[in-house]
Amino acid sequence: MSVQQMIKHQELRIAGMGGQGVMVIGQLLAHATVIEDGNVVWFPSYGPETRGGMAECTIIISSDEIGSPVTSSPDTLIALTQSMIDKYASSVRREGVIVVNTSLAEPPTYRDDCKIIAVPASKIAAELGNEKAANMVMLGAYVQALKPVSLESIKASMPQVLPEHNHRFIPLNNAALDKGAEIVGS
């Protein structure tokens, strides 16, 4: 499956706190897009804190060349915490998508012009054995809902994106991706 067959152009902001794996899921999306012969820009941004500070990245996936790595109004927001919902939900384009980790945040009730995907990601990850896999649950839900790339390409990207000492988490991450996709359904 190629990006051209899935989504022509999508702008995404992923936002959470340092240590939640925001950058990892952004890198996985970027790598999977390359696998599927698409164009991609991954633009990370960190707060000044080492851990626990703001962490966000912008991903632009397109079948065409990408003119700018910056977006002020993304099509989609993946928010892992309440502070990131509060900060970025209003910036999502009208008729966009907001994916919320409802274990840690409340969906924005004032955005009735967007599709809200409520995912109890931290709870699901804890049930799988490691709450740190919440990012993968969120990624699975996003990929299943919007299909920018296939879940198979995300899974194939893990050995290249994750440091070797974290390869032991690949089975857990794959299970978390599948659970996130399962929540959204077809």
Q: What is the pLDDT of residues 45-71, one digit of tens each?
A: 876 665 668 889 999 999 888 887 778
Residue 3 predicted with pLDDT over 60: no
Residue 14 predicted with pLDDT over 80: yes
Q: In what order do the strands lie in the sheet with 115-119?
A: 39-46, 54-62, 9-17, 76-79, 97-101, 115-119
> Looking at residue 109, what is its pLDDT?
93
Residue 34 predicted with pLDDT over 80: yes
Residue 7 predicted with pLDDT over 60: no
> Looking at residue 65, what is its pLDDT?
87
For 81, residues 6+ apart whose C-beta sits below 8 A from its C-beta are 15, 16, 17, 20, 101, 104, 105
- 43: pLDDT confidence band, cut at 50, 70 and 90? confident
Mean pLDDT of the chain, nearest integer? 91
Residue 6 predicted with pLDDT over 60: no
Domains in the chain, start-ordered, CATH in brackets? 3-184 (3.40.920.10)
- 9: pLDDT confidence band, cut at 50, 70 and 90? confident
Asked if 163 and 140 count as a contact pair (C-beta separation under 8 A), the reply is no
> Looking at residue 51, what is its pLDDT?
63
Residue 124 predicted with pLDDT over 70: yes
* Cα–Cα distance for residue pair 94/47, rounded to 1 Å: 27
Closest by alpha carbon to 87, among 173, 13, 151, 26?
Answer: 13
